[in-house]
Amino acid sequence: MKIALLQINPTVNDFDGNVARIEAAAREAVAAGAELCVAPELALCGYPPHDLMLQSRFAARNEAACDRLVRLSAALRCGLLFGLVLASDNPRGKPLSNGAVLCDSGRVLAVKRKALLPTYDVFDERRYFEPDFTPCVAEFRGRRLGLLICEDVWVEESVLGRIEYSQDPAAECVSRGADLLINISASPWQEGKHRLRERLCAAVARRLKRPLLLCNQWGGNDDLIFDGGSLAVGADGLTCARGRLFGDDVVAVEHLAARANQPQTWAEDDIADQIEALCLGIRDYFRKTGFAKALLGLSGGIDSALVACLAQRALGRENVKGITMPTRFSSRGSVEDSRLLAQALGIGFEVVPIDGAFENLRTLCGKPGGLAEENLQARVRGLVLMTRSNAEGSLVLATGNQSELAVGYSTLYGDMCGALEVIGDLSKMRVYEMARRFSEIPPDTHTKAPSAELRENQTDQDSLPPYPQLDALLEGYLDGRLDIEDLVAQGQDAALARRVARMVEVAEFKRRQAPIVLRVSRYAFGAGRRMPVAKKLPS
């Protein structure tokens, strides 16, 4: 039996569009001989729909779209398996289920409701859904299909270590006679996630001695980026087919007993993957919010240069504009490097001096001096960008990196203005690594000392530890969730560890007001990191 994994890019709340995407991919698959077409988790409504699910007619809209696909299965004479929101069949608990429907030739054969509902990191499915631990094994054209939804297979201790569940839905399907496991998924990407997912599927298939198919969505939805990377794994744990990363694909699977051909492997290049992910995140954020044009401040530094390169690649040069806003503290080289970058990228460019506006506002604010005056310059730049974007119908891209966001080396209502924080999940050192992939960035931008240029002869290192040292501390404190004592035990300087930890915690109120950060790492700022603002600080 030929099965097709329909790797599509759903838009949240676009039922008509999502049905059309499934239909187009299914018609392509059926023309190539597919008997069963599999679409991702919550493919009808898009993932994650969050509190849209609480609206009174949301489940009904899912079921109406479901009826259309059931009729489509009759027209195509093909089976369809797809994800949607269903009304729960439990009279108690949450009123909704994260579900899947299997239909064939106009008849519903099985309805599956998700068993394992993640509540860690960016996930909050238990907020909306009632779990259903009943195994679902469906008869389909001579096969017994064990139906699973995303988290239902994330219970493999040999790959994941400690897990949060006592149930094993895949094993329960096998105990009920399933000879093939199919998992529909909306698994967001982070660096290396597609390789982890493949190791997981291989381990599950080997342990249960059953082939496993996984169909994953792709695309950007707010801060989350989905890679696709759908998989077919044989009962021996060997990969039979892989879907492409960050793009549409129809993955045809026919021979699961043994690999007839070696499937094309994914490149082992994390920086290239992150570039693709960030460009996808930008592109889909603009497309799905109905905007086309981006605006950003160009400072002549490495961060804004990288954001400009990513935006140009994602949106096209005609849709990106950079504005350089010099003051008396701006070096001639910074203005010239911004100009050279814009010329190399072919994007719009403008120089808007802000010294006069800064002086007027400085007087209006009582000539505060010190850090307040430095921040005032940043806020004038934010004012220019936000006003221009408002007038032109564009969106502002913020240019802060993860290291700066972590320690609060940024200005609220200044350089933190914007709709999207493109590189807010990249450490400063990763920014430098990624920027080397773009030949358009002027050489001086790579080598000059990082500086906000808000006072004479200023560099970032006047206020921060050297970035390699800072990033190493942040990796342990944020990604590793190590306490100060643990950092010191690893060889970090105690006073510096306390200083950095305190800076991170003090800056929490700023991050609550930051733009959406595109997530490409394991532990990003945003929905996956929920820290209190009011708390006792490290000392």
Superfamily (CATH) of domain 3-259: Carbon-nitrogen hydrolase (3.60.110.10)
User: What is the DSSP secondary-structure string of 92-161?
Assistant: SS-SEEEEEEEEETTEEEEEEE-S----STT--GGGTB-------EEEETTEEEEEEEGGGG---HHHHS
Both tokens of residue 182? 């199919």
The CATH classification number of 274-460+508-517 equals 3.40.50.620
Q: Residue 92 burial (CB < 10 Å; 0-12/13-18/19+)?
A: exposed
Q: What is the pLDDT along the chain (539 residues), one digit of tens a residue?
A: 899 999 999 999 999 999 999 999 999 999 999 999 999 999 999 999 999 999 989 999 999 999 999 999 999 999 999 999 999 888 889 999 999 999 999 999 999 999 999 999 899 999 999 999 999 999 999 999 999 999 999 999 999 998 889 999 999 999 999 999 999 999 999 999 999 999 999 999 999 999 999 999 999 999 999 999 999 999 999 999 999 999 999 999 987 765 656 677 888 899 999 999 999 999 999 999 999 999 999 999 999 999 999 999 999 999 999 999 998 887 778 899 999 999 999 999 999 999 999 899 999 999 888 889 889 999 999 999 999 999 999 999 999 999 999 999 999 999 999 999 999 999 999 999 999 999 999 999 998 877 666 666 657 666 788 999 999 999 999 989 999 999 999 999 999 999 999 999 999 999 999 999 999 998 888 888 888 898 888 87
Q: pTM of this prediction?
A: 0.94
Calpha distance 116→93 (Å, rounded) = 15
Among the listed residues 150, 173, 215, 417, the single catalytic one is 150
Among the listed residues 112, 114, 288, 321, the single catalytic one is 114
Calpha distance 221→188 (Å, rounded) = 10
Would strands 395-398 and 420-421 be described as parallel, antiparallel, or unpaired?
parallel
> Does residue 345 sit in helix, strand or coil?
helix
Q: How far is CA 104 from CA 38, 193, 362, 398, 463, in A?
A: 12, 33, 70, 48, 64
From the list 185, 305, 181, the residue with the least C-alpha distance to 232 is 181
Is 440 catalytic? The answer is no
Is 114 catalytic? The answer is yes
Q: List helix spans (H) across 168-301.
A: 169-175, 193-208, 270-289
From the list 228, 237, 234, the residue with the least C-alpha distance to 266 is 228
> How many other β-carbons are positioned within 10 Å of the β-carbon of residue 124?
15
Among the listed residues 41, 172, 198, 374, the single catalytic one is 41
Is 421 catalytic? The answer is no
Would strands 516-517 and 420-421 be described as parallel, antiparallel, or unpaired?
parallel
Confirm if 52 and 13 have CB atoms less than 8 A apart.
Answer: yes
Residue 281 CA, chain-centre distance (Å), reads 7
Q: Where are the domains of the chain?
A: 3-259, 274-460+508-517
Calpha distance 228→205 (Å, rounded) = 20
From the list 98, 155, 110, the residue with the least C-alpha distance to 135 is 110
Calpha distance 82→99 (Å, rounded) = 8
